[in-house]
Structure 1
């Protein structure tokens, strides 16, 4: 009897109506509903709290030998419900709830469509079981957004950039036809609902963009490369010179990427929505004890200039001695790593270190200080002789690599990310991808991928105005839905909106207050947190050194407290017995009230509080540091200057 009751409850979730060929899958909380209609073609729609967000939109795959979705005939539909837990190796939470309802529909023609509904969003993917390999001429992925919502998107005219600023439009009617945007892409409805289009579990297939076509939003993909050459910056980047009339070559048996739609009427929930991670393939690595997230010193952003240091510094003086200085700083401040950027080896051959640096001696010195060394390299030359290059990097004693200048996300480039991650894992090397496309879950499958860049980060403060507090309070709601980022925070030269000027060479500064910068270490997801500024700059502020030494890069629990897209963020993260609260605002001064009721009953915390000084609107480097006592009954008012922020470190017992 219990067996039949369970079957009935599962079936009732999906409301199967085979005669009408309409199938419904609902989220466990019943707020989200994915409706599939099968006639001559396959269309879907999405409802959130009984409001239609996406009206019927066609989906399918045009292959060279058949068209998936055309003349669709359902053979069977199998529902199921899942409620389990995921324990990530590291991240924002030690335990994730993996709770969803699922429907697997089998079609004539040897393909299936898998639908899932979580409380966080819905997703679908095609699964083929064809005899022969195929070419994917195109994919049909429609997103017919209801009611012309506004949008916040990062637009581009090419298929080579993901370090982009976001543009905000009051209505998609203002968006130009045929101009594409990277995903995730966010849309804002008049009733306050936010919808995000994303993808997950992307393997051996080009990345998805979105563009407006005929007034509607559709997916778009880069064509399969026909010819390439070395070019772009430094002539060491593989550049596509012509493309085929198809987007991918695939085996007949294939699980295609998830097309993901996230919906919420509470902005702050986007800060800890991990649906892309949940949808992605679990780790394939058996031994992961060597994968250790952490913090790193770094020389590139400030041009290796060390004001007041007892040694020669600057880019022209990069040497064994200079890198040892950074390593000593890392050891003193409990930073796990030193990131050595471009300039230690030949850009075209990683196996040829430059004479001014004895890389083996640097790594030996770091080992003695219990500091690991990451080294920079370029993707195309690395791939040219991958096995030998990886063997060399392992042999010199590096613990990780920063691989730069992919600048593509066609099928071949996406495959390269996996190939490098797999080769690195075999040698127990961690990976920080740069000049790469956005993460889509590969970091779950290969957790030795500790960061992706794919964000307009701190480097851009050297040459333009784009990395500003509005940007900082925008991309965490969108870009971070895909996974971690390498923003490289930690600037100690902080400027107001009126006083900031980009400095390409020399010692750059950043927009926003000192405490806005400190909040990035809590707000931003970065398992490898790379400090952008000079060791001698941090040493001027022992109390900030204390905070930066303590703040972790991965956490046991994350609690978004209050947030509004493009305006402000406040969230709390727990590690061990300690809590960290980070708050930041755009260019508007504001008060943020923090309610500490999330703390355990009966616990009293001593807390270090870093806040904007009263005159931080004029001198953005000014801050106040004091020690307070906090319990779950504490309510704290944080006064944030324009471009301001605050951090609280609660010390547990």
Structure 2
């Protein structure tokens, strides 16, 4: 009784009557409040620190034989509180606190609505227990944002794009109704509060977008594919040519995805908000000892050009000899992997390697050097005969696959991600998804998924200006909430805003300083960190090689130090006894003061410090390296050039 008295002090449930019934779920710290109203329909509202952010908004599911939420009648409401520990297999924290209040409301018609409130955000999901399978004709997910907030969103007019730049609106009134935003989507209130709309635990259901309708935001989903054909780039992508009048076909018993709302008045907390991960199903894999995050050499971004190398290089010279050169570089610099991209096999049949490369010999050489090999393949041809294709990739000795060109997130495409992850796991193959929709927690359920793309990444520096320092200080607050990303950092050809030009073929460069680029290895979440530049380029800078060899890709603890959306980020991460600090700014020069009070009492550290050189605003590749001694009393001022950055590696003395 004492337990439930405590729960009801947090969850206020008003008595059922003929009028509307109202239920309130509060976060453990009481800052967030989700209020549900049940009458002719089901509506919810969200408040943060006593200010309403989302006014009453209708939610429900329209099925072919039922209307979930319409004319709802409550049977029971069961509150509970959970406070436990999650220990991820890997990530940016070794331990997560899973603390929330939940209300499970049962309705006539054999369905439930689960409401949860965490300190990080609130969420709801429908759960059905129907006898027969159903078609989901549509879903109602309203987000009636109060007070005309601004928006930082990535927009599209199709259902095939997630590698997008973010557009900033001062007011949602400016948003056009003919586009929709990918999720997570961020909205900024005039009182400084940021609100993010997202989803979690997405299985066998289309991904959610946000669009404007009647001045409010609502969810939108791609309809179920009726017919498809091979087309798009390379003519090897499954393209939808017609769609049904429903969005999904589901079993009668189904847990629908969580609809997630994150709110905070401190931007930096978004950098370590793992609510989407917490809401997703735990790992279904019993043996995970073979899943090993790490760093990888890679040939594609710089067109396999190796200036000064003693062997022929360039895309036209991709060969066993060339890949062995990359493998040797990886082994020398303690990189766990070599990523072999498109061009080693027939794009339409992964079991047909091209004659110029003896893939078995490459993998055997890599094994002798204790380097694992990931190989690239295309999603649609892989899925045509998934078991045989995965068996072949395992048989030749690959440790992982980079699967590209899904280009959809309708129900069938979302199911394909799970099918590949499950099939790969049975063969102890890790997966790096590319050309895919954003992560929504599947990587917790199948931790052999070590990365997703779904970000406008370093590759875009080959053809436009979108991969820039403003972008780098924006997407960690939004896209990274969903999970890890394959940005492919590590450029050693760094340019200022004035001197940068895209180079599609040849040796590309990037926007921002050298230290801005190095900071990505701390700030970006990337269990598989794929190095974009040439081995011979890294070899020009021994102290940078030293840093890149040392930096891990997964950590035990993450501490956001200072941050403002679209402007700057400073973050500290710990692995064992070592700490790594990364700082970056947009195109504005600024000073960031690092307070080392997070270090243990009585401990001293040797700190390798990499900072922008005094003239890095003009020569972005210029940097300074020095070693200092620090403890928890140290205050360090980092001077960041326009598009600049800094990194610090602390080793306990």
Fold equivalence (TM over 0.5): yes
Unaligned runs of 5+ in 2: none
The offset of 1:16, in angstroms, is: 8.8
Query: Contact 2:72–2:108 (CA<8 Å) still a contact in 1?
Result: yes
SS in structure 2 opposite 1:12? strand
Query: Contact 1:63–1:135 (CA<8 Å) still a contact in 2?
Result: yes
Q: Quick one: structure 1 residues 127 and 606, their matched pair in 2 at CA, closer, same or farther if it must change by over 3 Å?
A: same
Q: Quick one: structure 1 residues 11 and 406, their matched pair in 2 at CA, closer, same or farther if it must change by over 3 Å?
A: closer
The offset of 1:652, in angstroms, is: 1.9
Query: Contact 2:11–2:23 (CA<8 Å) still a contact in 1?
Result: no
Cα distance in 1 between the residues matched to 2:14 and 2:554: 37
Cα distance in 2 between the residues matched to 1:177 and 1:469: 29
Cα distance in 1 between the residues matched to 2:233 and 2:225: 19
CA offsets per residue over residues 516-566 of structure 1, 9 Å max, x none?
A: 000000000000000000000000000000000000000000000000000
Query: Contact 1:16–1:24 (CA<8 Å) still a contact in 2?
Result: no
Cα distance in 1 between the residues matched to 2:251 and 2:589: 55
**2:564 aligned with 1:558, yes or no?**
no
Query: Contact 1:375–1:400 (CA<8 Å) still a contact in 2?
Result: yes
Cα distance in 2 between the residues matched to 1:422 and 1:602: 47
SS in structure 2 opposite 1:540? coil
The answer for the alignment partner of 2:252 in structure 1 is 252
Query: Contact 2:90–2:555 (CA<8 Å) still a contact in 1?
Result: yes
Q: Quick one: structure 1 residues 625 and 511, their matched pair in 2 at CA, closer, same or farther if it must change by over 3 Å?
A: same
Q: Quick one: structure 1 residues 157 and 12, their matched pair in 2 at CA, closer, same or farther if it must change by over 3 Å?
A: closer
Query: Contact 1:10–1:79 (CA<8 Å) still a contact in 2?
Result: no
Q: Quick one: structure 1 residues 146 and 2, their matched pair in 2 at CA, closer, same or farther if it must change by over 3 Å?
A: closer
Cα distance in 1 between the residues matched to 2:25 and 2:53: 15
CA offsets per residue over residues 563-593 of structure 1, 9 Å max, x none?
A: 0000000000000000000000000000000
Query: Contact 2:19–2:39 (CA<8 Å) still a contact in 1?
Result: no
The offset of 1:177, in angstroms, is: 1.3
Cα distance in 1 between the residues matched to 2:299 and 2:15: 59
The offset of 1:13, in angstroms, is: 8.7
Cα distance in 1 between the residues matched to 2:177 and 2:232: 28
Q: Quick one: structure 1 residues 137 and 2, their matched pair in 2 at CA, closer, same or farther if it must change by over 3 Å?
A: closer
Q: Quick one: structure 1 residues 3 and 275, their matched pair in 2 at CA, closer, same or farther if it must change by over 3 Å?
A: closer
CA offsets per residue over residues 338-386 of structure 1, 9 Å max, x none?
A: 0000000000000000000000000000000000000000000000000
The offset of 1:45, in angstroms, is: 0.2
Cα distance in 2 between the residues matched to 1:221 and 1:534: 41
The offset of 1:178, in angstroms, is: 3.4
**2:334 aligned with 1:334, yes or no?**
yes
Cα distance in 2 between the residues matched to 1:126 and 1:385: 34
Query: Contact 2:10–2:25 (CA<8 Å) still a contact in 1?
Result: no
**Aligned residues between the structures:** 653
CA offsets per residue over residues 184-216 of structure 1, 9 Å max, x none?
A: 000000000000000000000000000000100
CA offsets per residue over residues 109-166 of structure 1, 9 Å max, x none?
A: 0000000000000000000000100000000000000011000000001000000000
Cα distance in 1 between the residues matched to 2:18 and 2:327: 65
Q: Quick one: structure 1 residues 7 and 509, their matched pair in 2 at CA, closer, same or farther if it must change by over 3 Å?
A: closer
Runs of 4+ aligned residues of structure 1 deviating over 2 Å after TM superposition are 1-20
SS in structure 1 opposite 2:203? coil
Q: Quick one: structure 1 residues 411 and 183, their matched pair in 2 at CA, closer, same or farther if it must change by over 3 Å?
A: same
The offset of 1:11, in angstroms, is: 5.0
Query: Contact 1:599–1:632 (CA<8 Å) still a contact in 2?
Result: yes
Cα distance in 2 between the residues matched to 1:258 and 1:449: 20
Query: Contact 1:592–1:638 (CA<8 Å) still a contact in 2?
Result: yes
Query: Contact 2:45–2:57 (CA<8 Å) still a contact in 1?
Result: yes
SS in structure 1 opposite 2:187? strand
Q: Quick one: structure 1 residues 18 and 555, their matched pair in 2 at CA, closer, same or farther if it must change by over 3 Å?
A: farther
Cα distance in 1 between the residues matched to 2:7 and 2:459: 55
CA offsets per residue over residues 308-361 of structure 1, 9 Å max, x none?
A: 000000000000000000000000000000000000000000000000000000
The offset of 1:4, in angstroms, is: 6.3
Query: Contact 1:15–1:23 (CA<8 Å) still a contact in 2?
Result: no
Cα distance in 1 between the residues matched to 2:2 and 2:348: 66
Query: Contact 2:495–2:509 (CA<8 Å) still a contact in 1?
Result: yes
Cα distance in 1 between the residues matched to 2:424 and 2:56: 44
Query: Contact 1:209–1:221 (CA<8 Å) still a contact in 2?
Result: yes
CA offsets per residue over residues 8-29 of structure 1, 9 Å max, x none?
A: 5465599999974000000000
Query: Contact 1:93–1:555 (CA<8 Å) still a contact in 2?
Result: yes
Aligned-pair Cα RMSD in Å: 1.2
Query: Contact 2:272–2:560 (CA<8 Å) still a contact in 1?
Result: yes
